[in-house]
Amino acid sequence: MLPYYYSVSEYLKKTYGHKLYKLSLSGGMTCPNRDGLIDTKGCIFCSSQGSGDFAVTDIDKAKSVVADKYSGNEYIAYFQSFTNTYADADYLKNLFTPVIMRDDIRILSIATRPDCLGTDIIELLSELNSIKPVWVELGLQTINEDTARYIRRGYKLSVYDEAAHNLNQAGIQFITHMIVGLPGDTTADTVATARYIADSKASGIKIALLHVLKDTDLYVDYCAGRFSTMTMEEYFQIIGQILAILPKDMVIHRLTGDGPKNTLVAPLWTADKKRVLNALSHYLKDNNIYQGKDYEHRL
Ligand code: SF4
């Protein structure tokens, strides 16, 4: 395990005494960025599965999927595919309550968009959060509004600000996703995005390297030569800069992407996640980089 940042596995060990395994679930909802409310094409990098390529609808089925990797019986129920608060509060209550009440579920984690968190939904999440921890995952990706338009995120930065404020007010932890290597984003934009996420008081961050998957519009632009993907060395340099300016207690939920290997087009070096994390560990060690190193300097 890397000692250079506060990983989610470290957080879980500290909080629960051991690892919890994540079950990738689908809540049966679509996404306003796909069904026509905002757009019909979705975010430019989103696959037809709505970023939930491994998700299933049934918890016991999801448990059987991970049975050969995990022998414990405590899980995070992770509603991953599409937008998991894109429904009315009654539907969501009926969906999430039986899940959070299960003895084998310790955390309810919900991936959604900041524009799908109305007052009634926040109230529901707050109720659920009083039973067991609820994590809300928000796909921000970048604070550069031009890049946000290019990737067809479909909401303005102020919408994220409002959602972050409301979640903080309700005492609900949220984890914000960002992407490194987006066409149009400079290194300064990327580092500023990480800083913005920390300042929004997100409890955690998920950092992904831009992946090009076959069945996406991003693939079309990639094939047309409109941008190139990062080398491992370039990626490590940016990760180093990001880690240094994040607060030490911010949980790092992800540092690489985990795209499905059968549709991954580029960068192919990311396919071997273990090798990448090992090499990153060496990079951070060799360059004496650790999370929070420069955090105090920017306060
Ligand atoms: S918000 Fe999520 S599910 Fe919707 S199009 Fe974007 S990545 Fe896909």
Nearest-atom number in ligand 1 for the CA of 47 is 8
DSSP state for residue 289 in the 8-state scheme? -
pTM for this entry: 0.94
CA 226 vs CA 59, 222, 235, 269: distances in Å:
41, 6, 19, 20
Q: Which domains occur in the chain, in start order?
A: 8-298 (3.80.30.30)
State the pLDDT at residue 299.
61
Looking at residue 245, its pLDDT comes to 96
Give me the pLDDT at residue 251, please: 98
- pLDDT, residue 11, reads 97
Classified as helix, coil or strand, 112 is strand
Pocket of ligand 1 contains residue 8 by CB under 6 Å: no
Q: What is the pLDDT of residue 66?
A: 86
Q: What single DSSP character describes residue 230?
A: P
Which ranges constitute the DSSP H helices of 154-272? Answer: 157-170, 187-199, 217-223, 232-245
B/e letters for 215-247, b = 16+ CB within 10 Å, e = fewer, are: ebebbeebeeeeeebbebeebbbbbbbbbbbbe
Q: Of 191, 159, 163, 164, which Cα lies nearest the Cα of 178?
A: 191
CA of 197 to the centre of ligand 1 (A): 19
Block mean pLDDT (10 aa), the chain, length 299 = 83 95 93 95 80 71 88 93 96 96 97 98 98 98 98 97 98 98 97 98 97 92 96 97 96 84 91 91 95 81
Does the C-beta of 31 come closer than 6 Å to ligand 1?
yes
Residue 229 DSSP symbol: P
Is the C-beta atom of 205 inside 6 A of ligand 1?
no
| Structural tokens at position 161 | 């600000």
Q: Which residues are CB-contacts of 158 (< 8 A; sequence separation ≥ 6)?
A: none
Closest C-alpha to 189, from 231, 232, 150:
150
Positive or negative: CA dihedral 270, 272, 273, 276:
negative
Instruction: Check if 139 has its Cβ closer than 6 Å to any atom of ligand 1.
Output: yes
Beta carbon of 206 within 6 Å of any ligand 1 atom: no
Q: What is the pLDDT of residue 54?
A: 60
Q: Whose CA is nearest to atom 5 of ligand 1?
A: 42
What is the rounded CA–CA span in Å between residue 58 and residue 60? 6
Q: Which atom of ligand 1 is nearest to the CA of 81?
A: 3
